[in-house]
Amino acid sequence: MRWFLRAWLLVLLAGLAGLGWVLFGQPGQRAEVVLTGPVDAAMLADPERIANGAYLARVGDCATCHTARGGAPYAGGRSIVTPFGSVPAPNLTPDRETGLGLWTFADFWRAMHLGQGRHGKWLYPAFPYTSYTHVTRDDTLAIFAYLRSLPAVRQVPEPLGLDYPYRLRSTLAAWRALYFGQGVFQPDGAQSAQWNRGAYLVQGLGHCNECHAERGALGGIAKNARLTGGQIPVQNWYAPDLSTQQNGGLAGWSEQDIVDLLQTGQSAKGAAFGPMADVVAQSTQHMTDADLHAIAVYLASLPPRAPKPAPHSAFNVARIASAGEKIYLERCADCHGRDGNGVAGVYPPLNGNSAMSEPTGINATRMVLLGGFPPATAGNPRPYSMPPFAQQLNDSDVALVVSYIRQAWSNKASIVRPEQVSTYRHTPID
């Protein structure tokens, strides 16, 4: 079955590669880049531009992928693991041999805006140029100036670990035809400047959609899927819907709640955990109040989609919920409250928390198993933590208590089965 699927994918990819070739020209040709005005050394050395670039690189969270654990910032040395194999994140410091030392701004713009490497080859979309294409030329130039200002670190990238046929760059022409739309963000004249700033940050450097939308069999996100929520491949956490959707979206979140979560890692509606804890720790906590409010205004304007029908279950939901409630009262209620409303500023609410009622149940399951700290931030430097229950509760107990939480109070999500708990028992690190 697996080989059949692979063979089928291969045929599909070959067909699409051919189509891509015909439609979009031979991959490997350097795309035409229109640069408005030349870039000279003085522009790259401008301290104000460099400082702005440092901020924008934070917003883009570049360091998280382009830094090895315990390694020099932006010097690469780490690989991004995908369902198709691993892709090394290159060294972005100005080392001439192993970094961006020989790159011109035109090369860098081509990478960010078109997903094309220095020698014209298409870049693997583990690099989220699908989002970065929306970034303006000025901002891209500032980031380039900042990267040029870093101390050069010699670090040879890890080898490419992509499986066949995905490592064939020719297949990327087809992938791009399906999933990549090139173009700098265009402001919506009907919206405020603040809304447009938020939309620009979310869609561009913030690259929120790369996690918060479902990826298909070829690892791409449908062009019309915008922040609809999705399971993050390999890491297997669920990045929730960021529209104002009920039960799993941002319904009920105030602008301040969104700002709080991004700035401090916790809010009156829930805390950051899993991959979002990384994002808060490395990126959003460093953003200005004005930018965070802009993001909040934009997200709070995203309309909910048509509600999905309530999940059906062949199991005795009432019995499961009552057995789960017993465990909840013993293990969880001391901190999260019988009413699931948590303790303001200390323990997050579970009632109405999108992490509890997202479609898969992965997040709640993992939280119960792993516990842990929300990210320590300037706004919450000594966070309260949650005990891990992996050693204390078996798969069935975890399934019961998670099912209860997902159906208690205002939550209306499907139950979780013990087999699902067993799937997510391991601890994800990267």
Partner 1 sequence: MNDFTISLRGLLRQVAGWMAVAMAGFCATVQAADSPNVPDTLQQRIAACTTCHGVHGEGTPGSKFFPRLAGKPAAYLLRQMQDFQDGLRNYAPMEYTVRHLRPDYMREIAEYFSAQQVAYVRSPAPVVSDAVLQRGAQLVNKGDPLLKVPACASCHGTELTGVEPSTPGLVGLPYDYISSQLGSWRTHTRATVKPDCMAVVARRLREADITAVAAWLASRTMPAHTRAQPAGSVEPPLPCGVLGATGEGA
In the DSSP assignment, the letter for residue 113 is I
Question: Nearest 5°: phi and psi at 270?
Answer: 160, 170
- CA–CA gap between residue 162 and residue 165 (Å, rounded): 8
**Residue 80: CB minimum distance to partner 1, A:** 15
| Residue 117 or 383 having the CB closest to partner 1 | 383
What is the enclosing helix (H) or strand (E) of 79?
strand 78-82
- CA–CA gap between residue 243 and residue 354 (Å, rounded): 11
| Residue 223 or 425 having the CB closest to partner 1 | 425
Cα maximum dimension of the chain: 71
Contact between 105 and 182 under an 8 Å Cβ cutoff? The reply is: no
- CA–CA gap between residue 137 and residue 90 (Å, rounded): 21
Token reading at 366: 């993992």
**Residue 262: CB minimum distance to partner 1, A:** 14
**Residue 429: CB minimum distance to partner 1, A:** 5
Question: Nearest 5°: phi and psi at 305?
Answer: -90, 175
| Residue 281 or 413 having the CB closest to partner 1 | 281
| Residue 37 or 70 having the CB closest to partner 1 | 70
10 Å CB burial of residue 118 (0-12, 13-18, 19+) is middle
Q: How far is CA 15 from CA 9, 20, 132, 174, 223, in A?
A: 10, 9, 28, 8, 20
**Residue 300: CB minimum distance to partner 1, A:** 26
| Residue 33 or 333 having the CB closest to partner 1 | 333
**Residue 336: CB minimum distance to partner 1, A:** 8
**Residue 313: CB minimum distance to partner 1, A:** 29
Token reading at 415: 């139950």
- CA–CA gap between residue 98 and residue 115 (Å, rounded): 19
**Residue 383: CB minimum distance to partner 1, A:** 7
| Residue 224 or 391 having the CB closest to partner 1 | 391
| Residue 163 or 430 having the CB closest to partner 1 | 430
| Residue 29 or 410 having the CB closest to partner 1 | 410
**Residue 376: CB minimum distance to partner 1, A:** 5
**Residue 386: CB minimum distance to partner 1, A:** 6
- CA–CA gap between residue 268 and residue 15 (Å, rounded): 50
- CA–CA gap between residue 361 and residue 265 (Å, rounded): 21
Question: What number of residues does the chain have?
Answer: 430
Contact between 88 and 159 under an 8 Å Cβ cutoff? The reply is: yes
| Residue 319 or 338 having the CB closest to partner 1 | 338
**Residue 95: CB minimum distance to partner 1, A:** 22
- CA–CA gap between residue 49 and residue 6 (Å, rounded): 47
> What are the residues whose beta carbons fall under 8 Å from the beta carbon of 228, sequence distance 6 or more?
212, 213, 214, 241, 243, 305
Contact between 167 and 85 under an 8 Å Cβ cutoff? The reply is: yes
Q: What are the residues binding partner 1 (CB under 8 A)? A: 68-70, 265, 277-278, 281, 333-339, 341, 343, 346-347, 370-376, 381-388, 390-392, 426-429
Residue type, 104: T
| Residue 177 or 390 having the CB closest to partner 1 | 390
CA-based radius of gyration for the chain = 23
